[in-house]
């Protein structure tokens, strides 16, 4: 049985946590249990990313029930609660803002200290389930790793104790720095028709998956209208739910949009690195594009990553309002070929996170609920 558990559930989690897992596994002192919640279960949404990033298989995989958010969250909490009965970890680690992080409620019910990677990010868009989830886990957490100083400030403004939050930088930078030499291999994994586009044409990469975008007919229509207005070819690895919605709503996609099924990390990063720009509502993709100096159109009413606008790496497209599509495309074209400073860190975030977890373990200083010497929450008003 492990000493500490890491619970993940979706594709971006595997990417972002890949180096952290390897670093903790290298510590002789700590046994890490890697738990997969089962939120993403199909091979091209999970296993391919384990293989391409050389991430070991999970120690435990749950078979969660249901298709709705409520079903998935409830099943995750129940599965973890039962697991924690037999596995009394010194701490459990969650990452991000998905249904899976709501499993932190089960850890809290067992009084197991909670560590949250990617803490205190806020979009201030309460339509988003992710905004609710990230707010909940941050207020439950005993140690929070925030990527930027501005994120920490957002947390403290909500009353989260400053001593609980450590600024680390963003581990996605580490992953890109260490794996960028592999991206060229993506050409060997793509269909020849896609490679022909990459080699012979200027093209744009697109992704779209957020529920506030694809489940709202007005927003999805606005997004497809934007893509249809682009003169360049668009390569669109489209999630199955987005495909289902387009078919159901009978929204016409232009001939310039080349739709393919979801692809692996290496293939996607190869496409992204060689694209003219990207159109996306994915926070991770927008980060990756910024780090690779690929301009982006961010299809969001609001974002938890405003720094991409601050450094001049991205153009905002709000799907909930009427837009001048030609102007949006013109603005992003002005960014093509320009340079900006990467705002997400220097590539040492994974090391900082892993070392802090190791230090807490060796010093036996993981939080102890209900004790007066509670190390990370002494600034809470009810602690004396």
Residue 372 placed within a domain: no
> For residue 44, is pLDDT > 90?
no
Supply the residues annotated as catalytic: 209
Mean pLDDT throughout 193-208? Answer: 96
Residue 38 placed within a domain: yes
Residue 151 placed within a domain: yes
> For residue 43, is pLDDT > 60?
no
> For residue 38, is pLDDT > 90?
no
How far apart CA 173 and CA 268 sit, in angstroms, is 16
**Residue 302 shares a structural domain with residue 199:** yes
* Conformation bin of residue 368: beta by default, left when phi > 0, alpha when psi is -120 to 50: beta
Quick one: pLDDT band at residue 331, thresholds 50, 70, 90?
very high
Residue 340 placed within a domain: no
**Residue 211 shares a structural domain with residue 277:** yes
**Residue 162 shares a structural domain with residue 181:** no
> For residue 316, is pLDDT > 60?
yes
**What's the alpha-carbon Rg for the chain, to the nearest Å?**
21
Mean pLDDT throughout 18-40? Answer: 93
**Residue 65 shares a structural domain with residue 119:** yes
Q: Is 88 helix (H, G, I), strand (E, B) or coil?
A: coil
Residue 188 placed within a domain: yes
* Residue 323's CATH number: 3.40.50.2000
> For residue 69, is pLDDT > 50?
yes
Quick one: pLDDT band at residue 368, thresholds 50, 70, 90?
low
**Residue 120 shares a structural domain with residue 180:** no
**Residue 109 shares a structural domain with residue 216:** no
Quick one: pLDDT band at residue 64, thresholds 50, 70, 90?
confident
Q: Among 153-162, 243-252, 320-329, 367-376, which stretch is predicted with the lowest mean pLDDT?
A: 367-376
For the chain, give the mean pLDDT.
Answer: 92
* Residue 297 confidence (pLDDT): 98
* Residue 373 confidence (pLDDT): 38
How far apart CA 34 and CA 57 sit, in angstroms, is 8
Quick one: pLDDT band at residue 68, thresholds 50, 70, 90?
confident
**Residue 240 shares a structural domain with residue 102:** no
Domain carrying residue 293: 174-333
Indicate the pTM of the whole model: 0.91
* Conformation bin of residue 66: beta by default, left when phi > 0, alpha when psi is -120 to 50: left
- Structural domains counted in the chain: 2
**Residue 45 shares a structural domain with residue 83:** yes
Looking at per-residue pLDDT, the higher value among 97 and 383 belongs to: 97
Quick one: pLDDT band at residue 185, thresholds 50, 70, 90?
very high
Quick one: pLDDT band at residue 333, thresholds 50, 70, 90?
very high
Residue 120 placed within a domain: yes
153 contacts 181 by C-beta, under 8 angstroms = no
Residue 158 placed within a domain: yes
- Using CA atoms, how far residue 341 sits from 169, 291, 344, 359, in Å, is 14, 8, 9, 32
Looking at per-residue pLDDT, the higher value among 52 and 208 belongs to: 208
Looking at per-residue pLDDT, the higher value among 363 and 367 belongs to: 363
How far apart CA 291 and CA 4 sit, in angstroms, is 31
Q: What percentage of the chain exceeds 70 in pLDDT?
A: 93
* Residue 39 confidence (pLDDT): 73
* Residue 384 confidence (pLDDT): 39
**Residue 178 shares a structural domain with residue 159:** no
Q: What is the DSSP string of 206-269?
A: E----HHHHSSHHHHHHHHHHHHT-SSEEEEE--HHHHHHHHHHTPPPPTTEEEE----HHHHH
**Residue 253 shares a structural domain with residue 160:** no
**Residue 78 shares a structural domain with residue 186:** no
* Residue 273 confidence (pLDDT): 98
**Residue 36 shares a structural domain with residue 101:** yes
* Residue 367 confidence (pLDDT): 66
Q: Among 77-86, 96-105, 262-271, 371-380, which stretch is predicted with the lowest mean pLDDT?
A: 371-380
Residue 376 placed within a domain: no
Q: What is the DSSP string of 150-164?
A: HHHHHHHHTT--GGG
* Residue 294 confidence (pLDDT): 98
Backbone angles phi, psi at 222, to 5 degrees: -65, -40
């Amino acid at each position: 049985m492990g000493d500490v558990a890491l619970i993940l559930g979706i594709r971006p989690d595997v990417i972002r946590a890949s180096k952290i897992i390897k670093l903790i596994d290298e510590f002789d002192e700590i046994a890490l249990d890697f738990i997969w919640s089962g939120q993403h279960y199909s091979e091209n949404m999970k296993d391919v990313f384990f293989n391409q990033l050389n991430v070991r298989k999970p120690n435990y995989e749950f078979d969660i029930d249901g298709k709705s958010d409520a079903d998935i969250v409830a099943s995750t909490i129940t599965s973890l609660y039962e697991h924690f009965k037999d596995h009394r970890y010194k701490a459990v680690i969650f990452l991000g803002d998905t249904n899976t992080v709501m499993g932190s409620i089960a850890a809290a019910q067992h009084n197991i200290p909670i560590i949250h990677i990617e803490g205190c990010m806020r979009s201030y868009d309460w339509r988003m389930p992710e905004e609710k989830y990230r707010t909940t886990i941050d207020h439950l957490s005993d140690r929070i790793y925030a990527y930027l100083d501005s994120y920490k400030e957002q947390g403290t403004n909500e009353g989260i104790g400053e001593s609980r939050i450590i600024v680390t930088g963003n581990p996605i930078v580490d992953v890109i720095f260490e794996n960028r030499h592999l991206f060229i291999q993506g050409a060997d994994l793509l269909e020849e028709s896609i490679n022909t586009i990459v080699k012979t044409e200027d093209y744009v990469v697109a992704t779209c998956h957020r529920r506030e975008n694809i489940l709202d007919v007005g927003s999805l229509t606005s997004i497809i209208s934007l893509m249809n207005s682009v003169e360049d070819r668009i390569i669109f690895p489209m999630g199955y739910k987005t495909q289902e919605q387009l078919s159901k709503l009978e929204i016409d996609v232009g001939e310039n949009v080349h739709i393919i099924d979801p692809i692996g990390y290496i293939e996607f990063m190869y496409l992204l690195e060689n694209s003219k720009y990207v159109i996306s509502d994915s926070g991770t993709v927008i980060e990756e594009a910024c780090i690779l100096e690929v301009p982006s159109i961010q299809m969001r009413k609001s974002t938890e990553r405003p720094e991409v606008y601050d450094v001049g790496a991205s153009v905002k497209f709000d799907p909930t309002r009427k837009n001048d599509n030609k102007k949006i495309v013109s603005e992003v074209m002005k960014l093509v070929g320009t340079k900006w400073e990467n705002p997400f860190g220097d590539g040492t975030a994974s090391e900082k996170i892993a070392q802090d977890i190791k230090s807490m373990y060796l010093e036996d200083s993981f939080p102890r609920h209900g004790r007066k010497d509670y190390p990370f929450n002494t600034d809470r008003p009810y602690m004396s």
